[in-house]
Amino acid sequence: MAKNLVIVESPAKAKTINKFIGSDYIVKASVGHVRDLPKSDLGVDEETFEPTYEVLEGKEKVVSELRAAAKKASIVYIASDPDREGEAIGWHVMKLLGTDATKVRRILFHEITKNAVRKAIDQPGEIDMNKVNAQQARRVLDRLVGYKLSPLLWDKVRRGLSAGRVQSVAMKMIVDREEAIKAFLPEEYWTFAAKLAAGLPPQFIAKLTKIDGKKADVTNEEQARVIETALKSGSYAVETVARKEKRQSAAAPFITSTLQRTAYNRFKYPVKRTMQIAQKLYEGKELGSFGHVGLITYMRTDSVRISDDAIAEVRQYISTKYGADILPEKPNVYRVKKAAQAQEAHEAVRPTSLEHDPEAIKDHLTREEYNLYKLIWDRFVASQMKPALFDVTDVDIRNGTYTLRASGEVLKFAGFLAVFQDASVEGAEDDDEKPDNSKALPAMNEGEPLTLVNLDTRQNFTQPPPRYTEATLVKALEENGIGRPSTYGSIMTTIQTRDYTYKSDGKFFPTQLGMLVTKLLKQSFGDIIDEGYTAELEGKLDEIEEGRVEWHEAMRDFSLKFNKDLVRAGKEMVEVKRTGVETDEVCEKCGSPMAIKFGRFGEFLACSNYPECKNTKETARGDVAEQPEGESIVCDKCGKPMQLKRSRFGQFYACTGYPDCKNTKDPRLLKADIPTEPQPPCENCGKEMVLKSGRYGPFFSCSGYPDCKTIRKIGGSKGTPPKPTGVPCPNCKEGELVERRSRRGIFFSCSRYPKCDFALNNRPVPRPCPKCAAPYLLEKETKREGHIEYCNNPECDYRAPIAARPNAANE
């Protein structure tokens, strides 16, 4: 008897489905796409826009096996992913089956569970050609732009460059932000924070908000000192007290973009890595007695919809675990974005079953998988809980013609906050990032006099817009309707590998090449790489998927516009391949201006008087970075100064004697906390230990590598021991808190780790709290308060500048 054939995309997905699909079925994987446009030519008829497809190199064996299996099967079920890309993969597979394509049925499921797969098989459908055509349109668009723009850049700038319909827009956004930062002119403003005391504790902060009933706008020191004198000499009294209740509702369960952003904010996972981890959770993990289980629903989605079965399950879970008082009378329903209406069959990213608690299956997951799974779990559970309730108090305080405001709030019902807080709040390390009304105010009545404890008068300057991180770039792309979250990871990878941008401290910086290419594209293709036009094209693709626009017609409209721009750009675009980009630097050999040129190995400086003068200077290793104040590094090979530079791989020191001296140093190897005394020889082979730098920082390695692979971590048990703080561990009472270093920086943990896992982010000091007598205090530095100490006891509000601490100078 012939068996039915189920074709999925990945072997991991095939393995999971095979566990519970039954003996009447065999499962095969296409291993992603099987056909695509040819690499060697355009592959698109420019009159009809019909694409020419060919079997991908290396996929011949897979295609042959699928054909052979289809011939033996009575029915072929295409079970590729439930999105445009998955639909297109299924269509390409069907086309390759030839006459056996008549057996093909399309099945869709958004989670890899036994019930979902069986239900899909019982209700098969057909390939959705609207989705296929939307994917074909996107592929043809990208091919037309990439294959026609890139050669133009090869001719005008440098061979090997690339341009893309979405990639170039993302790059433009980064360059535009950099230009806005450079053009930004800071404006001075002054703030006044009065620390006041009422009849009852605690003391609190009130900020100047109005002068003579108008918004306080203090822009110079002369005005500020007049106000400071008045505030210090005048008397304070409560003018009004306003109390209200504030509700904070839970966020919707994750969609692709919010998952990417939250994973970056909380764990610093790059977008591409988040999608890789989510893919593994979706395709399934081995969970011991449960077998191979798909843990989350499909992770490429713009929909926040939740199935009725999942809502019933989570409401039962919440009621049992957290109590009925935290469960709303009716399920929370979240508004679907317009862009997601075409995906209404999709669900949000959620756990497939609440039977698999993150803590219960933690041992079966990697650390990254556990972190992401728990994040998805908590957000989903919290999304069906009641809002958090706060009692909010706003107090206006009068001092002559000046009005100050103090705000405070008290959490009276945790609601969903019992389970999940947004990463932007949890990850705020600086007080300026936290809400000002995060503390309770003392009881006060209108007309009550207040006592001034101290007044903080501070000069400030407006700040330029921040550079993009992966999280904020995802948000900006999504808000502008550019691309799709499933493509964001590849976009960010491409603009870095093409040397258009690099990341430093998690922020995107454009390179000289990136700024030049963007400038040229903006001049010649300003509409094509415009955010609004790109979003309009994305909308057109959605309309194709919905069957409202014929895809060939949409390609024709785009091509007419694009080809006109292309012809004009070929004539008008500035050619910098030979001349380069002139700089202010002067050639030391002939006095001519030096120009930035772009070679196969990157950027370099060359004399503009070429070929009469052939002087060059290598800058391809990186742009000059901001040198730390007072830091002077001398080359240990030639004695010349070393300059801090940066490349897309990070910062490094380079000898200014280049190219005669090509010495470089990793800044991490010059830190003061790296031991300078000679290291003991290798304990395994007796050879010298040498200092090296890896992806997680500096370490000592045996000079006998690769024959001997001994390493000693800096600050670990085989290198410099962790630094003691003198504070006994408050958790186990037996160990001591010591300073340690991880890939993310310094932290403080118990010396008995892993037996005791107590840890702190801020430095503990062995000094009792002057207010509650807690055995130790914590120190940190904030933008607003400077270097402060505070009590770690959540019931104590002690907090003081270190400079103002009694006898600080004598300690």
Q: Which residues are catalytic?
A: 298
User: Which amino acid is it at 454?
Assistant: N
What's the token pair of residue 111? 């989670």
User: Which amino acid is it at 442?
Assistant: P
User: Which amino acid is it at 102?
Assistant: T
Q: In 401-483, which ranges are E strands? A: 402-413, 449-461
Burial label, 659 (beta-carbon count in 10 A; 0-12, 13-18, 19+): exposed
Q: In 445-533, which ranges are E strands? A: 449-461, 501-504, 507-510
What's the token pair of residue 135? 């994917």
Query: How far apart are alpha carbons 58 and 50 in whole angstroms?
Result: 24
**Torsions phi, psi for 646 (to 5 deg):** -140, 145
The residue count of the chain comes to: 811
Contact between 423 and 262 under an 8 Å Cβ cutoff? The reply is yes
What element of type H or E holds 11? helix 11-18
Contact between 404 and 397 under an 8 Å Cβ cutoff? The reply is yes
Query: How far apart are alpha carbons 727 and 715 in whole angstroms?
Result: 19
**Residue 693 DSSP SS3:** strand
Burial label, 477 (beta-carbon count in 10 A; 0-12, 13-18, 19+): buried
User: How many of the other CB atoms lie within 10 Å of CB of 643?
Assistant: 17
Query: How far apart are alpha carbons 46 and 11 in whole angstroms?
Result: 37
User: Which amino acid is it at 732?
Assistant: C
What's the token pair of residue 340? 């997601």
Contact between 245 and 403 under an 8 Å Cβ cutoff? The reply is no
* Closest to 127 (Cα-Cα) out of 170, 158, 97, 161: 97
Tokens 């989903």 correspond to 380
Query: How far apart are alpha carbons 515 and 97 in whole angstroms?
Result: 47
What element of type H or E holds 745? strand 745-750
Q: What angle do CA 789, 791, 797 make, to 5 degrees?
A: 105
Contact between 625 and 599 under an 8 Å Cβ cutoff? The reply is no
